[in-house]
Structure 1
């Protein structure tokens, strides 16, 4: 009987741990809505489609790309024009484990990223997105990121 009680307790704790572990990484519908324009921008980048890159952004928004301790600033329009040109390589940006914080119509997303060229990690770092809700729709207001080449192999 004692062994059966121990087994039950072990299974119960395992189920609780699995449930809480999954819930800790689950995203609410609102968090998913905040992440949607970011994924839309990434999809536009992968297609090298300037209009699709700009579509989820707030007009006049800016980017600050930190490279080797130096900021490169540009508007979303300039970024879209640069990345949206046809090219011989396939590009893809992926974020993982995003931290999403929301207060009414303002949200921030902090997420590690990998930038792939032809399927291989070219650089990595952390993305920081400021996202605002305008007329019920989340839009990217600004982006800052770090970028480094010394990425661990994945």
Structure 2
């Protein structure tokens, strides 16, 4: 009976991995890496619910986002980004990163990760996110985000 339970558990994990539902924290190998990924996941959850306050919670006040789309550069404050997401529509949006590269040195960290962006459950575009984080009062915050979002030839990860 224990063997059956173990096999079922392993199958569930394999199925979850195959469908891309693993959270980014599962890619982290240390507690500190999980802590660095936590604000990234929190921002994505805020985006999915289109909740500006939840998006801003893991962000450093006055931080900025730089987006490259098809050779065009756009720079926006985190405040404006969060407000735009909250008011820009009713579709369900979801951003998923995979295979993050995480580097930590004392109170600074970075996460480099490919992503896919879904609208109403369908892949709309993909690219790469680069998050710069700082630890303030023992809490990791996203200080800046740079994203290349211009691709439509997205892998099925």
TM-score range, shorter chain: 0.7 to 0.9
Offset at residue 150 of structure 1 (A): 2.0
Q: Which residue of 2 aligns with 1:151?
A: 154
**Matches of residues 17-36 of structure 1 in structure 2 within 5 Å?**
26-36=28-38
Secondary structure, aligned partner of 1:84: helix
Offset at residue 133 of structure 1 (A): 0.1
Runs of 4+, deviation exceeding 3 Å: none
Offset at residue 76 of structure 1 (A): 0.2
- Give 1 or 2 for the bigger CA radius of gyration: 1
Inter-CA distance 26–56: structure 2 relative to 1 (3 Å threshold): closer
Q: Which residue of 2 aligns with 1:68?
A: 70
Secondary structure, aligned partner of 1:83: helix
**Residue 46, structure 1, aligned to residue 52, structure 2:** no
Measure, in 2, the Cα distance between the counterparts of 1:37 and 1:85: 22
Q: Deviations over 1:73-129 (max 9, x none)?
A: 000000000001262210000000100000000000000000000001000000000
TM-score (norm 2): 0.80
Give the CA RMSD over aligned residues: 1.2
Measure, in 2, the Cα distance between the counterparts of 1:59 and 1:88: 26
Measure, in 2, the Cα distance between the counterparts of 1:26 and 1:112: 15
Measure, in 2, the Cα distance between the counterparts of 1:153 and 1:128: 21
Unaligned runs of 5+ in 2: 1-26
Secondary structure, aligned partner of 1:33: helix
Measure, in 1, the Cα distance between the counterparts of 2:137 and 2:125: 35
Contact 2:28 2:34 in 1 (8 A): no
Measure, in 2, the Cα distance between the counterparts of 1:56 and 1:26: 18
Unaligned runs of 5+ in 1: 1-24
Q: Deviations over 1:112-153 (max 9, x none)?
A: 000000001000000000000000000000000111222134
Offset at residue 69 of structure 1 (A): 1.1
Measure, in 1, the Cα distance between the counterparts of 2:51 and 2:130: 22
Aligned length in residues = 130
TM-score (norm 1): 0.81
Q: Which residue of 2 aligns with 1:55?
A: 57
